[in-house]
Amino acid sequence: MITRRSFTKTLAASAALAALPLEAQTRLNIGVGTYSYHNLSIDDMIVQLKALRVAQIEMSRGEFMLFSKPEESLFRSTKEKLDRASIHCVSYYTATIKDRQDLDNAIGFAKAIGARNITGDATGSILGEIDQRCTKEGLTFGIHNHYFPGQKFPYESPDDVLKALASLSSTVGSTADVGQFTSCGYDPVDAVRKLGSRLKLVHLKDIQARDGEVNVLLGTGIAKIPEVMAELRRQKFAGLVAVEYEKEGRVEDDLRQEVEYARKLAG
C-alpha cells in the first residue's frame, strides 16, 4: 500500500525532477535483485518477474553465491529458463571473493548465466587480480558496501569504496546499496553522488532506521529514495537500478508495490 506520506514524497520527487534541465534527465533502468524472491523457487520467481514485466535482474539468491559451492550447471539451466522468459541476468552477486579459485568460479558462473557484471566484496591484493581478470574477460566488477551490526566492515562508507578504487582501473567500480549506506549512517544521496562515474549497479532498498537492517517499502523509510533517484537521473546513470527487498515470508505484493514505486521515479 502506498501511504499518504510516501505519495507526498513521490510528488515532491517528481517536482524536483521537473526542475532539472532537459538534457540532465534520463529514464532509469529498473530491475530486481533476486534475493528478494529467495523464498520462492526459480520457476515461481520467474512467474513473478514476468508479471511485473521485469526484463533485467541481478542474480543474488543464496544458492548461487560462492559460499554455497554451486555447480555451473545451475547457472546454465537457470539461464535457459530466463532466456525463455526474455529476462536478462545483467549481474551476478557472488558475495565474498577470497582467493584466485573464488575469482575463477565467479567469472565462470557470470559467463554461464550471461552476466556482464560481477558484484561482491573483496579486500587486499585480490582486488588487483579481479581488475586484471575482469578486464581480460570483458566483465566489470562492483564492490558492494555492507552494514553488519556490532562490527566494522571494510566498505561501509562511499569513501571506503573510493579508497579501494583509487588504484584500480575503470573495470572495477561500485555496486551501491543505498539501504546499507543508510544503515551505516551515511547519506545515500551523497554516496551515489560521490561514487558517480564509478557506479556499476545500484541496489534500491529502503531502511526503517539507522543501525538496523529492517527493510521497509520504498519511500516509507529513511533512505531518501526519491532524492537518490533524482540524483541518478541527474547523472544519466545507465546501469541497472535493482530493487531489493529483504523480508521473510510472502513478498509478492510488496515487490509489486516496490517496482511500481521505483518506476514512477524512473522518469
| Continuous segment of H or E residues that includes residue 174 | strand 172-177
Residues 242-263, mean pLDDT to the nearest whole number: 96
**Using one digit for the tens of pLDDT, what is the confidence trace for 135-194?**
999 999 999 999 999 899 999 999 999 999 999 999 999 999 999 999 999 999 999 999
What average pLDDT does range 17-34 have in this prediction? 69
CATH number of the domain to which 115 belongs: 3.20.20.150
Domain membership of residue 150 (yes or no) is yes
Asked if residue 23 has pLDDT above 50, the reply is: no
- Position 212 in a domain: no
The per-residue b/e assignment along 224-257, b for 16 or more CB within 10 angstroms, e otherwise, is bbbbbbbbbbbbebebbbbbbbeeeeebbebbeb
pLDDT band at 261 (very low <50, low <70, confident <90, very high): very high
Query: For residue 240, what pLDDT is reported?
Result: 98
Per-residue model confidence (pLDDT) at position 263: 98
- Domain contains 94: yes
Instruction: Examine residue 199 and state whether it is found in any structural domain, yes or no.
Output: no
pTM of model > 0.85 = yes
Q: 143 in a domain, yes or no?
A: yes
Q: Is residue 157 part of a domain?
A: yes
DSSP 251: -
Cell numbers for 225: 529514495
Number of domains in the chain: 1
Q: What is the pLDDT of residue 10?
A: 44
Average pLDDT value over all residues in the chain: 92
The residue range of the domain holding 167 is 28-173+246-264
Residue 237 lies in a domain: no
Specify if 196 maps to a domain: no
Q: What is the pLDDT of residue 74?
A: 98
